[in-house]
Structure 1
Amino acid sequence: MMKAFENFEVWFVTGAQLLYGGDAVKQVDGHSKEMVDGLNNSGLLPIKVIYAGTANSSNEVADVMSRANNDKKCIGVITWMHTFSPAKMWIKGMQILRKPLLHLHTQYNRQIPWETMDMDFMNLNQSAHGDREFGHILSRLRKNHKTVVGHWKDEKTQKHIAVWERVCAGWADAQDCLILRFGDQMNNVAVTDGDKVAFEQVLGYHVDYCPFSEVLSYFDKVKDAEVDELVKVYFRDYAHDGRLEDRNTEEYKKVWNSAKAELTLRAILKAYGAKGFTTNFDDLGDVNVEETGHGFDQIPGLASQRLMSEGIGFGAEGDWKSAALYRTTWFMSQGLAGGTSFLEDYTLNFDGENTSILEAHMLEINPDIAEERPRLEVHFLGIGYRKSPTARLVFTSKQGHGITATIVDMGNRFRLIANDVNLIKSKPLPKLPVASALWVPEPSFEVGVGCWLNAGGTHHSCFSFGLTDEYWRDFAEIADIEALIINKETNYEQFRKELKFNEVYYMLNKALH
């Protein structure tokens, strides 16, 4: 887990002032270092905390925030007021700061030393005073931030900080995230489209189009020997029927073609430095590929499955927002149990209290969520203009609690929607040989789906077993976008009112700015 985020760090800045003398500031400094060491040694924080010093004046605050902005390893700043730190001296620094901010309301000592507490102790330990002053100025400045309240040694407090650190890492990764579109969106689909300029301006992801002719130039450079070696990896890692290994069969050829498609995608993604991609089954290259051998004989489903497992963002039918958000979902989830995947609402199973949604896709589901060892199979795929057999990993998902999320373009803003879901045991699908999951949205099928529909949620979403709604609330806070969370506490009518209230807020906010 630490290795995944080893190039990142979070800065810890303590607030004080010189009113109480230099000796007091030295004590503040010592306490702060001890607290930072304690956080790092807790084993709960995925990203190292660096003590960046105590700020005692407006110039010192502005200086440390400027340095945080310019330090590539720094992905966020934690602030804590040990003593009373008059917040007017934090105005310039907070206006300068562009990195995510966490306000930690804590105290060095856990309990009041009733028998020994004197005025010197009172002067030094004023977090109850200083943090309120700091909280006021953040509110006055309308500064987006997360507030964590609790003693710094408590596991609960540390876990809230750990969530925020992972979100900061996901945010930092998004600011340097290129998504390549191999083909356009599926024609006439509204929810997968949107404003790519605003998407980059607000969320950081850069989305480019890459013509399939360029993909084919990489396809032509793939060596047969490389393909042969990757096919061996497939047979080693996945359950399969022995006949697939017979080089004289059509099934082997389809597995081999899938391997060549994977190597092609890996090569072009590496060349561009891209962290995600989209495909569209209407754009695969040479329409006479079976005769010419020039191009993909089907959508690269197996490649998409395996690349998702390694953190490459993916969106089907040109869904670039899902490709970007999946990358962030995976990036934040590193080291957490359960796995992640791009998923699509496929079909409904009305069964009373167990009414559920079958989540699947044509081919592209991440094997990390598989209940058992994925099985490599070759089957006919009857979709798009090119209908032909292709290889894929077939499995049903693990059971358990998770969360799925999406981002939609509402025209005047981006909206993040997240829904807690419970994955349940799925029955076999002998005539639909694809990967799948079966889930019941919280708080119930009717309320969960009703809220998702009213919010304008997509049919594609990005699922994680390890994340919670706290991650997505923090992400939306950093991005300064609307967040709608659907969980066991959600009331349908109150949710509809929230949608209307939010609409008024964003209309007024736009008018004021």
Structure 2
Amino acid sequence: MTVPTAQPSPNPAVRGRAPRIGLLGIMQPLYDDMIPGITEHQARYAARVADRLSGVAEWTVAPPVRGREEAERAVRAFEEAGLDGVLVVMLTYGPSLRITRALTGARLPLALANIQPEPSVSASWDMDDMTYNQGIHGAQDTANALVRARVPFEVVTGDWEGPEFAERVGRWARAARAVRALRDLRVGVFGYPMNGMGDARVDETSLLRVIGPEVHVIAPGALHRTMAGLPEEPVRELMSWEDSVFDVDPRLSKEEREDHARMQLGIERLLEEAGCGAYSTHFDAIGEDGRFARLPMAAASTLMAKGYGFAGEGDVLAASVVYAGHRLAGDGHFTEMYAMDFPSDSVLMSHMGEGNWRLAREDEPVRLIKRPLGIGGLADPPTLLFRYRPGPATLASLVALGGDRFRLVVAEGEVLDSPALPSLEMPYGRFRPDSGVGGCMDAWLRAGGTHHMAMNTGRRAEDWRVLCALAGIEYVPV
């Protein structure tokens, strides 16, 4: 299922673009007289490393750095180029004090690749070989400086030509991309958050300062005016696209579908104008406004499928983590735990009617249905109905602990191939945690995990751990 070109372009923050990483090779001029040409020799080594890792990121390789000014100039160039992170590679031993200012002042996520040109020590080695392969103590010196400066960073030790090293660097690069995206994120909130819901509340200043998302309030009136001002052509195109992708309920009237289409297009236009990569709506804010006929349920599902972060009830934390899930794994999905099913050791996952249909089962159509909904006090909202695709999955909940402390609670498990629930008219699936329902729920509640969360397909706990390490977020697997 793909979005045709007639539709607005997918959110550029999510799909298609590989992480863009700068490789900063460190050495020093001490060895120039001892080994003429060593700088050029090790520059070729750095280029080979980048070429080997070309499958996990796009690389910008700086000339070998041998002093403080060169290091600071290279890092500034990476930042000005809009890269996602910096991989530091010791080309020889490089004293940390020559690069400490550059790295501790860097605005980009960092990783230290503890590698060397040759994977094994050979009896044929001479002093040249020893010098080429002595990066480990430069890595120790540099890591010590970063720890003392309290700068978050990841470490990847291994044979740079092996698949495990590429996999780990790829994981870090995706996490760096997600962290960078969060630092630039603006979350649009339509109206106001749900009254009385405490686990979604956050000090917006702390969220902006520590992780990066900025909250941008959008008045419901702006949405109403935007909907009314839309021309007919994009509305028809959206409805035609839905006809080609979804199994459309014949009970849906043209009026209902046009109103829903205008709401979706209006939301997206306002998000684009405000530079928002994520958003949240609250049913009361829409329902009590008095100018809307229905809630934007199907709109949330398709906008998530296009790469926008989303959460219900004005939940900025959950919208941010869904957005990060897009950048980390490509398929962020908003959900919550509805009920426990002890016989299957699983939890029924769903929400009022929003869900990323890219997570739908492939053996069943995604249905656009006419669906009665009492919440909000409005007319029936067109809703996308599907069951989650069976297989490995990961849940992640962003928790505000007060002050500048944030925690990510993460659970790995499996979406079960469970029987359908014919009366449930919203996206759903059953998630079995690896730690079991009892163990997972006990640990989730002790950690303060929220009731809104992101889901990704696959086992993504390690991806989230790396993101937390780079972003200064406490990581709690349950």
| TM-score calculated relative to the size of structure 1 | 0.85
Provide the secondary structure at the position in 2 that maps to 1:175.
helix
Identify which of 466, 469, 484 aligns with 2:461: 469
1:77 aligns with 86
The equivalent of 2:98 in structure 1 is 89
Letter in 1 for 2:110: L
What is the distance in 2 between the residues matched to 1:265 and 1:31? 49
**Amino-acid identity (%):** 25
Task: Name the structure 1 match of 2:413.
Answer: 421
The verdict on how the C-alpha distance between 1:177 and 1:2 changes in structure 2, with shifts beyond 3 A counting, is: closer
Q: Is the 8 A contact 2:341 2:347 kept in 1?
A: yes
Confirm whether residue 333 of structure 1 aligns to residue 336 of structure 2. no
Distance in 1 separating the partners of 2:280 and 2:414:
27
CA shift in 2, pair 1:3/1:52, >3 Å = farther
Instruction: Answer whether contact 2:346 2:430 (CA < 8 A) is retained.
Output: yes
CA deviations 1:271-312 (Å, max 9, x no partner) are 222211111111226766xxxxxx432210001000000011
> Per-residue CA shift, 1:87-139, capped at 9, x if unaligned?
2323222222221111001111122232x211222223212333223333233
> Secondary structure of the residue that 1:271 maps to in structure 2?
helix
- Residue type at the aligned position of 1:464: N
Match of 2:262 in 1: 260
Q: Tell me the matched-pair count.
A: 461
CA distance in 1, matches of 2:289, 2:20: 49
- CA offsets per residue over residues 305-328 of structure 1, 9 Å max, x none? 000000111110111111121111
Amino acid at match of 2:452: H
- Residue 30 of structure 2 aligns to a residue in which SS? coil
Counterpart-to-counterpart distance in 2, 1:440 and 1:324:
24
**Partner residue of 1:55 out of 65, 78, 81:** 65
In structure 2, distance between residues paired with 1:432 and 1:23:
70
For CA contacts below 8 A with separation 6 or more, give which structure has more relative contact order.
2
Question: Considering only aligned residues, what root-mean-square deviation do their CA atoms show, in Å?
Answer: 2.1
Measured at CA, do residues 51 and 318 of structure 1 come closer, stay the same or move farther in structure 2, by a change above 3 Å? Answer: same
SS state of the match for residue 162, structure 1? helix
Tell me the residue number matched to 1:436.
428
- Residue 39 of structure 1 corresponds to which residue in structure 2? 53
Following superposition, the deviation at residue 441 of structure 1 comes to: 1.7
- Give the letter for the 2:37 counterpart: D
Q: Note closer, same or farther for the CA distance 1:100–1:287 as it changes in structure 2 (3 Å cut).
A: closer
User: What TM-score do the two structures reach when normalised by structure 2?
Assistant: 0.91
Matched residues in 2 for 1:10 and 1:259: separation? Answer: 39
Q: Match for 2:261: what amino acid?
A: A
* Runs of 5+ consecutive residues of structure 1 not aligned to the other structure: 245-249, 289-294, 487-513
The residue identity in structure 1 corresponding to 2:25 is T
- SS of structure 1 residue aligned to 2:370: strand
Residue number among 270, 273, 276 corresponding to 1:271 in the alignment? 273
| Distance change in 2, residues 1:108/1:252 (3 Å) | same
- Letter of the structure 2 residue corresponding to residue 28 of structure 1: Q
CA shift, 1:67, in A, is 3.0
Partner of 2:337: 345
* 2:291 is aligned with 1:300: no
Which residue of the other structure, out of 38, 47, 50, is the alignment partner of 1:24?
38
The Cα of 1:389 is off from its aligned counterpart by 1.8
Residue by residue, what CA displacement relative to the aligned partner does 1:342-363 show, whole Å, maximum 9, x if unpaired?
Answer: 0011122121xx2211111111
How many angstroms apart in 1 are the aligned matches of 2:65 and 2:237? Answer: 57
More off after superposition, 299-308 vs 217-226 = 217-226
1: CA distance, partners of 2:20 / 2:345:
44
Match of 2:441 in 1: 449
Note the 1:67-466 alignment, pairs <5 A: 67-69=77-79, 71-114=80-123, 116-241=124-249, 243-244=250-251, 251-284=253-286, 295-334=291-330, 339-351=331-343, 354-371=344-361, 372-384=364-376, 386-412=377-403, 413-466=405-458
Residues 135 and 227 of structure 1: CA distance in aligned 2, closer, same or farther (over 3 Å): closer
**How far, CA to CA, are the matches of 2:474 and 2:259 in structure 1?**
43
Q: State whether residues 213 and 285 of structure 1, in contact with CA within 8 Å, keep that contact through their aligned partners in structure 2.
A: no
Larger helix fraction of residues: 1
CA distance in 1, matches of 2:471, 2:108: 11
**Which runs of no fewer than 5 residues in structure 2 stay unpaired?**
1-11
Match status 1:15 vs 2:26: yes
CA-CA distance at 1:4 after TM superposition: 4.3
Counterpart-to-counterpart distance in 1, 2:264 and 2:112: 45
Question: Deviation of residue 330 (structure 1)?
Answer: 0.9
Aligned-partner Cα distance in 2 for 1:321–1:165: 23
SS of the residue aligned with 1:410? strand
Amino acid at match of 2:103: M
CA contact (8 A) 2:386 2:426 kept: yes
Compared CA separation, residues 88 and 362, structure 1 to 2 (3 A): same
Asked if the contact 1:192–1:321 (Cα under 8 Å) also holds between the matched residues in 2, the reply is yes
